[in-house]
Amino acid sequence: MSNRARRRVVLCRGEYCNLGRRADKIYQKLQPLIDELNGDTYPPCIRLETASCLSMCGQGPNIVVYPEDVSFNKLDESTVEAIIRQHLSPCQSFTAEIAENVEKKHG
């Protein structure tokens, strides 16, 4: 998969996952992390979205990352950053990607 392929990080903010506003706290941690991973790429290669239920309430708070369709469960604000950093690498800037492709093509 190309580094520029779009990924969606979907955080459930449904009734169960957001008990005690725990999903809101995770969102507060995630937003700057996703911004950091996107860097100066345009359009951003990772999009943070929210859902009202991901149909796995008992395992919440939950996140699903697409297109891999990988879910992360029983998250809290202290674990989410390490988990997402382990799964998603920083987006490559468009300029760096062009330079890399030109170098591959022309040696």
Tell me which residues touch ligand FES (CB under 6 A): 12, 14-17, 53-57, 60, 62
Residue nearest to ligand FES (CB): 14
Q: Measured from the CB of residue 104, what is the shortest distance to ligand FES in angstroms?
A: 42
Q: Which is nearer to ligand FES, 29 or 44 (CB)?
A: 29
Query: In the complex with ligand FES, which residue's Cβ is closer, 26 or 91?
Result: 26
Residue 43, token pair as written in the block: 């359009």
Q: How far is the CB of 26 from ligand FES (least distance, A)?
A: 11
Q: Which residues contact 78 (CB under 8 A, 6 or more apart)?
A: none
Is 43 within 8 Å of 8 (Cβ atoms)? Answer: no
Structure tokens that stand for 53 in this block: 């239920």
What's the Cα-to-Cα distance from 10 to each of 18, 39, 53, 69, rounded to whole Å? 14, 19, 10, 10
**CB of residue 78 vs ligand FES: minimum separation in angstroms?**
19
